[in-house]
Amino acid sequence: MTREQWQKMYDDEKIRKIAELCGWKRDIRNVGPKASKAPCWLNPKTGEYVLEMLGHTQFPDYLHDLNAMHEVEMDIFNGTSGWRIEDDYLRHLSTAIGIPVDKDEAVSPYICSATASQRAEAFVMTMRGEP
> Would 27 be classed as within a structural domain?
no
Cα separation, 120 vs 93, in Å, equals 9
The rounded percent of the chain whose pLDDT value lies above 70 is 85
> Would 29 be classed as within a structural domain?
no
Distances (CA, A) of 112 to 22, 37, 88, 99: 22, 44, 16, 13
> Would 9 be classed as within a structural domain?
no
> Would 107 be classed as within a structural domain?
yes
Winning range, highest mean pLDDT, from 9-13, 80-84, 87-91: 9-13
pLDDT at position 111 is 84
Angle between helices 116-127 and 86-96 (to 10 degrees): 130
The rounded percent of the chain whose pLDDT value lies above 90 is 44
52: pLDDT strictly greater than 60:
yes
β-sheet bridge partners, residue 31: 36
Number of folded domains that form the chain? 1
31: pLDDT strictly greater than 80:
no
Query: Model's pTM, two decimal places?
Result: 0.82
The parent domain of residue 71 ranges over 59-131
pLDDT at position 83 is 62
Kindly state the average pLDDT of the residues 93-111. Answer: 81
> Would 31 be classed as within a structural domain?
no
> Would 18 be classed as within a structural domain?
no
Strand order in the sheet with 49-51: 25-31, 36-42, 49-51
Q: Are 35 and 78 in contact (CB under 8 A)?
A: no
> Would 73 be classed as within a structural domain?
yes
